[in-house]
Structure 1
Amino acid sequence: MRVLFTIDDRIYASHLPLPQGKHAVQLIFEAQIPAQYKTQLMSFLKAHELVTVRPETFSLNQLRNGQITKFKGDIYIGHFERSGKVKHTGIAFNVQNTILNEPVSTSQRNGQFYVLGLGNSTCLLVHKIGHTPSYDQIAKAHCDYHAGQTAEINCSTIGPVKSFKLADFLNAKTLYLETKDFK
């Protein structure tokens, strides 16, 4: 499954990781969809806290390795496994630019974040999922990182961050937060 979010006019998909097993992977990529759905999807993404995709069955490892560049999926308002409502079925997704592709390491402590420069003074702050209890958090912030520039930072809190008080990141806003799968 993927959670979808938008930054500027781009659509991003994040694999919803689990703490263990074959889904213990943090994977975020830019997604392209057919033009006839893009305007409506952008509206969904702005109007709803959570929009997810239930993809067709395929190998996550092949997606991670670049062997899968296209897939189809059903778009849901809400979490499709938790009473989300289907809005579109069989939508084609093209995998464009993978910006994060890391395994979950439950041996590390919580409170560390990947910083992913997207360009246009925008960064994603993605929590490095650590030992349980943990959480999956993605935030957007203004920063001076260039597109493709990445770093790792430590945060003073081990739980989900409500406010990033780091001078390099302004106006941070959480785009996605999951705690239930990481208890």
Structure 2
Amino acid sequence: MKNTFTFLLLICFCGSVRAHDHSIGLHGMALFAINDRIYASHLPMPQGKHAVQFIFETQLPNQYKTQLMPLLKAHKLVTVRPETFSLNKLRAGQITKFSGDIFIGHFERSGKIEHTNITFNVQNTILNKVVKSSQDNGLFYTIGLGNRTCLLVHKIGKSPSFDQIAVANCDYLAGNIAELNSSANRPVKIFELTDIVNAKTLYLETKDFK
């Protein structure tokens, strides 16, 4: 009887450990468009459950995509305040869609709400990396998107750091990922001595990484 009771306690304990997911929370995102595709980037932090750089292609209902594309071209920053979910499950591909509100500007910094309760379908993961705040700054993930287009994402390092996402012309094949050293501890406008040209910053955040 005693052994049975101990066994049941062990099952309950293991079940509660598995059920507790520290990554559950409100994971804000920045939206940007490249050509006719829309991408979402999780807003990372230096430490804690938000210390993840996760970017994916997203599909919206047609009527909202038609309205959103001009907004993304007209405004420097468009963000999403999504429903609460597990970032771990999103990263693992266990969450394929979620709902959220779209803001012009930062939703936590006086942004203006534009659309509510929009469904975002997660289609194609572009980047899925944990932030390592002990490493040096200046490295960029360079990701081929096809059509001579690359996405460049700063590899967030030790403070003060920054989160920068840029698009540029390059010869990378779609899906190819490499690391590029910009030799700079600051946001980059021109990637010198490389085949990366016409770089344009799509998103930049410095306040959260001071």
TM-score range normalised by the length of the shorter chain: over 0.9
Distance 1:156 1:71 in 2: 38
> What is the 5 A alignment of 1:1-183?
1-183=28-210
Q: How far has the Cα of 1:3 moved from its partner?
A: 0.1
Number of residue equivalences: 183
Q: How far has the Cα of 1:160 moved from its partner?
A: 1.1
Q: Secondary structure at the match of 1:140?
A: strand
Distance 2:165 2:128 in 1: 14
Q: How far has the Cα of 1:28 moved from its partner?
A: 0.3
Distance 1:75 1:171 in 2: 29
Q: Contact conserved, 2:190 with 2:197, CA < 8 A, in 1? A: no
Letter matched to residue 174 of structure 2:
A
Q: Provide Cα deviations, 1:66-90, integer angstroms capped at 9, x if missing partner.
A: 0000000000000000000000000
Q: Provide Cα deviations, 1:88-121, integer angstroms capped at 9, x if missing partner.
A: 0000000000010000001110000000000010
Letter matched to residue 16 of structure 1:
L
Letter matched to residue 105 of structure 1:
K
Q: Secondary structure at the match of 2:71?
A: helix
> Max radius of gyration: which structure?
2
Letter matched to residue 80 of structure 1:
F
Moved more, 38-47 or 161-170: 161-170
Distance 2:81 2:39 in 1: 15
In structure 2, the CA distance between the partners of 1:34 and 1:166, relative to structure 1 (3 Å rule), is farther
Listed as ranges, the gaps of 5+ residues in structure 2 are 1-27
Distance 2:191 2:103 in 1: 29
- Structure 1 runs (4+) deviating above 6 angstroms are none
* Alignment RMSD (CA, Å): 0.6
- Percent identity reads 74
Distance 1:106 1:92 in 2: 32
Distance 1:36 1:161 in 2: 35
Letter matched to residue 161 of structure 2:
S
Please name the residue that 2:10 is paired with.
Answer: none
Listed as ranges, the gaps of 5+ residues in structure 1 are none
